[in-house]
Amino acid sequence: MARILITSALPYINGIKHLGNLVGSQLPADVHARYMRQRGHEVLFICATDEHGTPAELAAAAANQPVADFCAEMWGMQKRIADGFRLSFDHFGRSSSARNHRLTQHFAERLSGAGLIDEVEEKQVYSNADHRFLPDRYIEGTCPNCGYERARGDQCENCTKQLDPTDLINPRSAISGSTDLEVRTTKHLHLRQSAMREHLREWIDSQSGWPILTTSIAKKWLDDGEGLQDRSITRDLDWGIPVRKGEKPWPGMEGKVFYVWFDAPIEYIAATAEWADAHGLGEAAWRRWWRTDEGADDVRYVQFMAKDNIPFHTLSFPATLMGSAEPWKLVDYVKGFNWLLYEGGKFSTSQGRGVFMDQALEILPADYWRWWLLSNAPEGGDADFTWENFQNGVNKDLADVLGNFVSRVTKFCRARFGETVPEGGAPGPEEAALAAELDAKLKDYERAMEAIEIRRAAQALRAIWVAGNEYLQRAEPWAKFKTEPEAAAMVIRTALNLVRLYGVLSRPFIPDAAEAMLAALGLEADQPWPEDAASALDALAPGHGFETPEVLFAKIDDESRAGLEARFAGDE
CB-based contact 290:99 (threshold 8 Å): no
CB-based contact 269:102 (threshold 8 Å): no
Residue 431 lies in a domain: yes
Span of 12-26, 173-187, 373-387 with lowest mean pLDDT:
173-187
- Helix orientation angle between 454-475 and 485-505, rounded to the nearest 10 degrees: 170
Side-chain-side CA neighbours of 338 within 13 Å: the count stands at 16
Instruction: Summarize pLDDT for 525-549 with one digit per residue, the tens.
Output: 999 999 999 999 999 999 999 999 9
CA 450 to chain centre: 16
Residue 270 lies in a domain: no
Residue 441 is which amino acid?
A: K
Residue 2 lies in a domain: no
Q: How confident is the model at residue 81 (pLDDT cuts 50, 70, 90)?
A: very high
Side-chain-side CA neighbours of 488 within 13 Å: the count stands at 16
Q: How many domains does the chain have?
A: 1
For the chain, what is the mean pLDDT? 94
CATH number at residue 460: 1.10.730.10
Give residues with Cβ within 8 angstroms of 215, minimum separation 6.
204, 207
Q: What is the mean pLDDT of residues 378-401?
A: 96
Instruction: Summarize pLDDT for 54-73 with one digit per residue, the tens.
Output: 889 889 988 999 999 999 99
Give long-range contacts, CB 8 A cutoff, 24+ apart: 250-258: 250/108, 250/189, 252/119, 252/187, 253/119, 253/187, 253/188, 253/189, 256/188, 257/52, 258/52, 258/104, 258/105, 258/108, 258/233, 258/234
Residue 331 lies in a domain: no
CA 233 to chain centre: 26
Q: Which residues are annotated as a binding site for ATP?
A: 349
Instruction: Summarize pLDDT for 142-154 with one digit per residue, the tens.
Output: 999 999 999 988 8
Instruction: Summarize pLDDT for 310-361 with one digit per residue, the tens.
Output: 999 999 999 999 999 999 999 999 999 999 999 998 888 767 789 999 999 9
Residue 465 lies in a domain: yes
Span of 220-229, 367-376, 434-443 with lowest mean pLDDT:
220-229
**What is the per-residue pLDDT for 160?**
81
**What is the per-residue pLDDT for 138?**
82
Which domain does 427 fall in, by range?
385-536
CB-based contact 304:377 (threshold 8 Å): no
340-342 vs 383-385, strand pairing mode: parallel
Residue 230 lies in a domain: no
Q: Which helix or strand (DSSP H or E) is residue 514 part of?
A: helix 511-520
**What is the per-residue pLDDT for 225?**
55
The pTM (predicted TM-score) of the whole model is: 0.92
Residue 571: is its pLDDT beyond 80?
Answer: no
Residue 256: is its pLDDT beyond 60?
Answer: yes
- Helix orientation angle between 454-475 and 366-375, rounded to the nearest 10 degrees: 110
**What are the backbone angles phi and psi of residue 93, rounded to the nearest 5°?**
-100, -160
Q: Which residues are annotated as a binding site for Zn(2+)?
A: 143, 146, 156, 159
SS3 189: strand
H helix and E strand count, the chain = 22, 18
Q: What is the mean pLDDT of residues 509-521?
A: 98
117-127 vs 132-133, strand pairing mode: antiparallel
Residue 207 lies in a domain: no
**For 398, which DSSP code?**
I
Give residues with Cβ within 8 angstroms of 391, minimum separation 6.
556, 558, 561
Closest CA to 7 of 279, 327, 212, 299: 299
Instruction: Summarize pLDDT for 192-228 with one digit per residue, the tens.
Output: 999 999 999 999 999 988 999 999 999 998 887 556 8
SS (H, E, C) 112-131: HHCCCEEEEEEEEEEECCCC
Instruction: Summarize pLDDT for 233-249 with one digit per residue, the tens.
Output: 999 888 999 999 888 88
Helices marked H in 158-299: 197-205, 212-223, 260-278, 283-290
Closest CA to 86 of 31, 141, 168, 46: 31
Residue 507 lies in a domain: yes
CA distances (Å), 190 to each of 108, 121, 187, in order? Answer: 10, 10, 10
Q: Which residues are annotated as a binding site?
A: 143, 146, 156, 159, 349
